[in-house]
Amino acid sequence: MKKYIAELVGTFWLVLGGCGSAVLAAAFPDVGIGLLGVSLAFGLTVLTMAYAIGHISGCHLNPAVSIGLWAGGRFPASDLLPYIVAQVIGGLAAGGVLFVIASGAVGFDVSSGFASNGFGAHSPGGYSLTAALVCEVVMTMMFLFVIMGSTDSRAPAGLAPIAIGLCLTLIHLISIPVTNTSVNPARSTGVALYVGDWAVSQLWLFWVAPIVGAVIGAVIYRFVASGDE
């Protein structure tokens, strides 16, 4: 139970820190942090939580990561469902806290996006469904490859959180204009349910693509590393 609670708290921090930076600070008058700031915020949430709870739960914070680590032979199937449930609950709790904070500002309109992921008319750059699908699959694939490699027993000890946090930062720098960057179904669900409407109708992509990408990335790493392990 403690590791499930750790995953809930960790995912709460990821969604609150990452999506909170996008909703509250990205375009704040005159001193907004912009896309670079939002990218760093997501990376920092993972980096800080990896050091805080990595030794308790492994710090997945992401259903796609849990499924990918299972596909890579690093995680038991028996823990998949409770991890995913904890992660989604953590994401929804963060979305609720963020909604309360954001709605305290005059003119707040949740239907304008609320850091939700989308494609087509709801992509920040107007990217198509195909572009969004490819982007999310490839970004999550590389994310799992880095996670698997940096947490390998032969990798430098203690540096995995830095590699993983910087990787997530880079992923956001690349893909925020395409989908607002998901690579994490819990992150997407945590804000989409408060928006409803189009955000919920497009949510399927941000479950399917990250999971497919995570499995591909984990399997590739497992193949590459299998000769040495």
Q: With the C-alpha atoms ordered 196, 194, 110, 187, is the resulting torsion angle positive or negative?
A: negative
Query: What CATH architecture is 1-225?
Result: Up-down Bundle (1.20)
C-alpha to C-alpha distance for 98 and 17, rounded to whole angstroms: 9
Q: Where are the domains positioned within the chain?
A: 1-225
C-alpha to C-alpha distance for 35 and 50, rounded to whole angstroms: 23
pTM for this predicted structure: 0.92
When pLDDT is averaged across residues 9-32 and rounded to a whole number, the result is 86
CA-derived radius of gyration, the chain: 17
**Each residue of 179-201: pLDDT tens digit?**
999 999 999 999 999 998 899 99
Give me 183's structure tokens: 């690579």
Say what percent of the chain tops pLDDT 90: 82
Q: Among candidates 35, 16, 22, 65, which has minimal Cα distance to 215? A: 65
When pLDDT is averaged across residues 21-50 and rounded to a whole number, the result is 87
C-alpha to C-alpha distance for 116 and 199, rounded to whole angstroms: 6
Angle at 158 between CA 14 and CA 15, to 5 degrees: 0
In the chain, the largest separation of any two C-alpha atoms, in whole Å, equals: 59
Q: What are phi and psi of 46, to 5 degrees?
A: -70, -45
Give me 131's structure tokens: 């572009």
**Each residue of 112-171: pLDDT tens digit?**
779 999 999 999 999 999 999 999 999 999 999 999 999 998 888 889 999 999 999 999
